[in-house]
């Protein structure tokens, strides 16, 4: 079995969602060595309360190149989004930085496998992530033929991925590798960044900063799919371990409970995207995560009362 770590890239505005994630990990997960939490340098004091013998808070500057400089918070009034100034590219925003940090975090982790968890994920069942992610083959989640050439986001991201990896022939519809609680292999991630340098002639961080319109999950998935050797080292699956709400519809408590009932026995995590503006209070009350040690009956969807059916989209 390979060693397995957890990795989350977060920031101050997501701290309440991250609090739910960390509580659910402490309640339900086993089989991992460390949970690495990568945050903006000025956010480190806010996240220090989550640190433990298994959770490490890492400042973003540890993994970012010196030519990429965070605009001081006092000057953030010039943009509604967090800005990083670059000496080698146009400015980049927090969305780009989080994607870069996920890749860098995997490359720098001592563990061979890393399960990437965004702040708006949480777990609701006991789960040995080491058994799931640490086997001979790395699980690779895919939604086959889900990206059309005219997809407003994924189609654009995929064309950028092709440029970054030097993939010349692309047919649509294409496979989608975006999901939640995804597992990456460290050696594969190193090979992926090497492929970016070979295709672009640039350091992988600089190449991403100059392109901007990309998805780290599509990048990893399509790198694996384009490499027979790496594909053979992965176990491709269409079954996600997370039940997800991708759109911007605000969910109330009955709808959250309906998501739980929609979860298959193999699904152990839930993701309600932060941009849906779903109440954190409602999520916390549904899952009863007020105490790290509490494992309330409502955390099991099998014990919930009857609620209306809820259709869960598989892709964005």
- Please write the tens of the pLDDT for every residue from 150-167: 888 889 999 999 999 999
Of 46, 182, 37, which is closest to residue 98 (Cα–Cα)?
37
Of 22, 58, 62, 19, which is closest to residue 39 (Cα–Cα)?
58
Tokens 């490490």 label which residue? 56
Please tell me the predicted confidence (pLDDT) of residue 272: 86
- Please write the tens of the pLDDT for every residue from 114-153: 999 999 999 988 999 999 999 999 999 999 999 998 888 8
In CATH terms, the fold of domain 4-241 is: Spore Coat Polysaccharide Biosynthesis Protein SpsA; Chain A (3.90.550)
Each domain of the chain, given as residue ranges in start order, spans 4-241, 243-303
170 has a pLDDT exceeding 70: yes
Higher pLDDT, 77 or 280: 280
124-128, 218-222, 259-263, 297-301: least confidently modelled range? 297-301
DSSP 297: G
Please tell me the predicted confidence (pLDDT) of residue 285: 82
44 has a pLDDT exceeding 50: yes
23 has a pLDDT exceeding 50: yes
Please tell me the predicted confidence (pLDDT) of residue 157: 93
Q: Whole-model pTM?
A: 0.88
ω into residue 144 within 30 of 0, thus cis? no
201 has a pLDDT exceeding 80: yes
Please tell me the predicted confidence (pLDDT) of residue 309: 35
- Please write the tens of the pLDDT for every residue from 52-89: 999 999 999 999 999 998 887 666 655 556 888 888 99
246 has a pLDDT exceeding 90: no
* β strands within the chain, DSSP E: 4-9, 29-30, 35-39, 55-59, 68-70, 83-86, 92-93, 113-116, 121-123, 127-128, 138-141, 143-147, 174-176, 182-185, 234-237, 242-245, 269-272
% of the chain surpassing 70 pLDDT: 87
Q: 261-276 burial, b for 16+ CB within 10 Å, e for fewer?
A: bbbeeebbbbbbbeee
286 has a pLDDT exceeding 60: yes
70-79, 104-113, 241-250: least confidently modelled range? 70-79
């Amino acid at each position: 079995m390979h060693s397995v770590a957890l990795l989350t890239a977060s920031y101050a505005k997501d701290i309440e969602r991250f609090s739910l994630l960390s509580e659910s990990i402490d309640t339900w997960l086993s089989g991992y060595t460390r949970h690495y939490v990568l945050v903006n340098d000025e956010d480190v004091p806010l996240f220090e309360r989550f640190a433990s013998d298994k959770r490490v808070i890492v400042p973003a500057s540890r993994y970012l190149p010196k030519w990429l400089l965070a605009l001081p918070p006092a000057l953030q009034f010039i943009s509604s989004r967090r800005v990083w100034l670059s000496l080698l590219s146009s400015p980049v925003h927090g969305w780009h930085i989080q994607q870069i940090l996920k890749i860098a975090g995997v490359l720098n982790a001592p563990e061979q496998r890393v399960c990437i968890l965004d702040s708006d994920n949480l777990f609701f069942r006991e789960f040995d992530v080491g058994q799931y992610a640490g086997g001979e083959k790395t699980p690779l989640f895919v939604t086959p033929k889900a990206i059309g050439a005219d997809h407003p986001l994924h189609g654009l991201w995929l064309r950028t991925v092709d440029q970054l990896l030097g993939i010349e022939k692309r047919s649509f519809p294409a496979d989608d590798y975006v999901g939640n609680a995804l597992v990456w292999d460290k050696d594969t991630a190193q090979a992926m960044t090497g492929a970016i340098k070979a295709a672009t002639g640039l350091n992988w961080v600089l190449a991403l900063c100059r392109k901007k319109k990309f998805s780290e999950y599509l990048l990893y998935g399509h790198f694996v799919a384009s490499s027979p050797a790496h594909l053979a080292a992965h176990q491709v699956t269409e079954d996600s371990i997370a039940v997800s709400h991708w759109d911007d519809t605000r969910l109330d408590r009955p709808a959250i409970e309906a998501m739980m009932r929609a979860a298959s026995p193999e699904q152990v995590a839930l993701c309600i995207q932060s941009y849906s503006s779903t109440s954190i209070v409602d999520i916390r009350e549904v899952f009863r995560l007020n105490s790290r040690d509490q494992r309330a009956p409502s955390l099991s969807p099998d014990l919930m009362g009857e609620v209306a059916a809820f259709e869960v989209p598989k892709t964005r």
